[in-house]
């Protein structure tokens, strides 16, 4: 089968074509386009029409490069929604999860439903941008009364491609309005939060057929129909976890891109108070699984640092900076990556320096030292989170799979192995697009079996690099962890 995977990340989108069959899984990129958020009147928005144009360009290029397509699947980041009115028109551009507006609605939501009650139902770590807070903030706006459907970004694009309205389950589980146990919309939470039920469209399971590309889209892209559009794990992290080439269930993953999503795969949610306090989320995965994980601030710290240096006219070549960072002494300074101040866009090196000063450490004195501080701090966060995930869930872990763009960063992979004291298997880089294509291929009958069979195909076809932990490092990492812990 020839399948197009649309995979949208926070800084770029891509359309990949997968060729899949028994023993075969090949992926190549046909279009990559920038995803440039735009601040308008003080609010940070996604330019969702530019993304849609990138998708259409990608489908056109796919048709040109590989001929007729057997299907399309879409995944992207989570939580952000577009509102449709009764005519199906989009009421304004989706607001970026890094916009400060969402957090203003948190106290009002917690007055209606306490954090503990919310967690018992939705199992979601508290992030100030979860959809539930976004909708509470939007409720204050004049246009909100016109809204008929709230569509997550992949569902919005699928609506434009097919005309069909729905909510894919794995991404719906990031809204805060889905019951993590029944895997249905929580009518109770929707009522208590005084939101209109009609906003939440029927749920679709990964593998469901959503519809077909409309005649307009076929004409626009030059593709020959019918081309089915299939629900995949439309939350990029859900697709990335499908794309983890694990051999047994005793694995942890780091899905490492702009965010690092660190956790384990479970059959059931963990809804304990201890889990809530530790900030773990129970997002729903493909085939009835639960993605028990925490958001770690991720490569965002590095991306924003590079952006800051570039606009100041300083050298910002990542490869060179990583080589220089490898020569820096370890643990010069370490920070808590989850510090809220790191969430919004801005001057990251200055913020890191500020946190260092506050915690009695000498701030990094060079760009290379800043990069080293970020990587040591990320590896520490991975160590903390992998250990906590195992402890809170009772799942033992003997290997860490690091997938996504971060798998190219060999220094980060080695530091992660050293910090966790476990082997790190790095790759595939395109885990999300691979997970997307695998779920489509199975739905279309080209593959069969469960996640284990899909992962066997990944191991047979994708490149994975092993990083073993350097011996006798535990005490040094523990000392660095104690330093971070004292300052949290």
**Nearest-angstrom CA–CA distance, 476 and 482:** 10
| Identified binder of ligand LFR from the candidate list 78, 189, 195, 417, rule CB under 6 A | 78
Instruction: Using the minimum distance from each CB to ligand LFR, give the nearer residue, 119 or 259.
Output: 259
Cβ at position 178, least distance to ligand LFR in Å:
14
**Nearest-angstrom CA–CA distance, 257 and 270:** 25
Mapped onto helix, strand or coil, the DSSP state of residue 356 is: helix
Q: Does 159 bind ligand LFR (CB under 6 A)?
A: no
Cβ at position 92, least distance to ligand LFR in Å:
19
Please state, in angstroms and as integers, the Cα–Cα distance from residue 118 to each residue in 125, 175, 290, 315, following that order. Answer: 10, 12, 17, 46
Could you tell me which stretch among 72-80, 243-251, 265-273, 304-312 binds ligand LFR (CB under 6 A)? Answer: 72-80
Q: Which residue has the tokens 């909708």?
A: 135
Mapped onto helix, strand or coil, the DSSP state of residue 188 is: helix
Q: Does 259 bind ligand LFR (CB under 6 A)?
A: yes
Mapped onto helix, strand or coil, the DSSP state of residue 462 is: coil
Could you tell me which stretch among 37-45, 77-85, 366-374, 466-474 binds ligand LFR (CB under 6 A)? Answer: 77-85
The answer to whether residue 236 is catalytic is yes
The 3-state DSSP composition of the chain as helix, strand, coil percent (nearest 5) reads 45, 20, 35
Q: Does 342 bind ligand LFR (CB under 6 A)?
A: no
**Nearest-angstrom CA–CA distance, 177 and 175:** 5
Q: Does 61 bind ligand LFR (CB under 6 A)?
A: no
**Running DSSP on this structure, what letter comes out for residue 288?**
G
Could you tell me which stretch among 229-237, 364-372, 412-420, 439-447 binds ligand LFR (CB under 6 A)? Answer: 229-237
Rounded to the nearest 5°, which phi and psi values hold at 336?
A: -80, 110
Buried-state track 142-177, b at ≥16 Cβ within 10 A, e below 16: eebeebbbbbbbbbbbbbbbbebbbbbbbbbbbbbb
Instruction: Using the minimum distance from each CB to ligand LFR, give the nearer residue, 237 or 440.
Output: 237
Q: Does 77 bind ligand LFR (CB under 6 A)?
A: yes
Q: Does 236 bind ligand LFR (CB under 6 A)?
A: yes
- Between β-strands 399-403 and 251-256, what pairing exists: parallel, antiparallel or unpaired? parallel
Spot the catalytic one: 236, 336, 339, 418.
236
Q: Closest Cα partner for 392 from 228, 230, 281, 251?
A: 281
Instruction: Using the minimum distance from each CB to ligand LFR, give the nearer residue, 94 or 257.
Output: 257
Q: Does 97 bind ligand LFR (CB under 6 A)?
A: yes
Binding string to ligand LFR for residues 283 to 312, with x set by CB under 6 A, is what? ------------x-----------------
Tell me the catalytic residues.
236
Residues that bind ligand LFR (CB under 6 A): 77-79, 97, 235-237, 257-259, 261, 295
């Amino acid at each position: 089968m020839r399948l197009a995977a649309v995979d949208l990340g926070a800084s770029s989108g891509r359309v990949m074509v997968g060729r899949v069959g028994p023993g075969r899984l090949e992926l190549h990129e046909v279009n990559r386009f920038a995803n440039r958020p735009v601040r308008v009147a003080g609010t940070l928005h996604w330019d969702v029409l530019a993304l849609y144009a990138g998708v259409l360009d990608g489908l056109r290029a796919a048709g040109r490069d590989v001929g007729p397509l057997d299907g399309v699947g879409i995944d992207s980041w989570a939580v952000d929604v577009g509102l449709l009115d009764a005519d199906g028109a989009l009421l304004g551009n989706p607001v970026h999860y890094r916009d400060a507006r969402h957090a203003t609605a948190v106290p009002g939501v917690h007055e209606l439903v306490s954090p503990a009650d919310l967690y018992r139902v939705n199992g979601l770590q508290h992030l100030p941008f979860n959809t539930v807070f976004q909708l509470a903030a939007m409720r204050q706006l004049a246009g909100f009364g016109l809204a008929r459907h709230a569509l997550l970004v992949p569902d919005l694009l699928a609506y434009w491609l097919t005309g069909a309205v729905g909510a894919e389950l794995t991404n719906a589980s990031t809204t805060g309005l889905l019951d993590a146990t029944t895997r249905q919309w929580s009518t109770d939470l929707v009522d208590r939060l005084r939101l209109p039920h009609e906003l939440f469209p029927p749920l679709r399971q990964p593998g469901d057929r959503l519809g077909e590309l409309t005649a307009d889209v076929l004409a626009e892209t030059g593709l020959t129909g019918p081309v089915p559009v299939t629900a995949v794990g439309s939350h990029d992290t859900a697709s990335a976890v499908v794309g983890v080439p694990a051999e047994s269930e005793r694995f942890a993953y780091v899905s490492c891109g702009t965010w690092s999503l660190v956790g384990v795969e479970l059959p059931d949610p963990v809804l304990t108070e201890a889990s809530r306090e530790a900030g773990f989320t129970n997002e729903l995965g493909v085939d009835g699984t639960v993605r028990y994980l925490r958001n770690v601030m991720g490569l965002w710290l590095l991306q924003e640092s590079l952006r800051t240096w570039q606009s100041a006219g300083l050298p910002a070549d990542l490869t060179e900076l990583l080589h220089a960072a490898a020569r820096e002494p370890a643990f010069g300074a370490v920070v808590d990556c989850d510090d809220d101040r790191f969430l919004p866009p801005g001057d990251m090196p200055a913020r890191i320096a500020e946190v260092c000063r506050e915690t009695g450490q000498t701030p990094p004195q060079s760009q290379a030292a800043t990069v080293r501080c970020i990587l040591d701090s990320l590896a520490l966060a991975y160590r903390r989170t992998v250990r906590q995930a195992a402890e809170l869930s009772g799942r033992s872990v003997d290997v860490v799979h690091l997938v996504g763009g971060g798998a190219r960063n060999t220094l980060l992979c080695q530091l992660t192995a050293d910090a966790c004291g476990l082997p790190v298997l790095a790759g595939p880089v395109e885990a999300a697009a691979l997970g997307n294509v695998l779920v489509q291929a199975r739905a279309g009958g080209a593959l069969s079996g469960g996640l284990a069979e899909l992962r066997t195909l990944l191991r047979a076809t994708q490149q994975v690099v092993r990083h073993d932990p350097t011996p006798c490092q535990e005490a040094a990492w523990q000392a660095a962890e104690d330093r971070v812990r004292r300052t949290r």
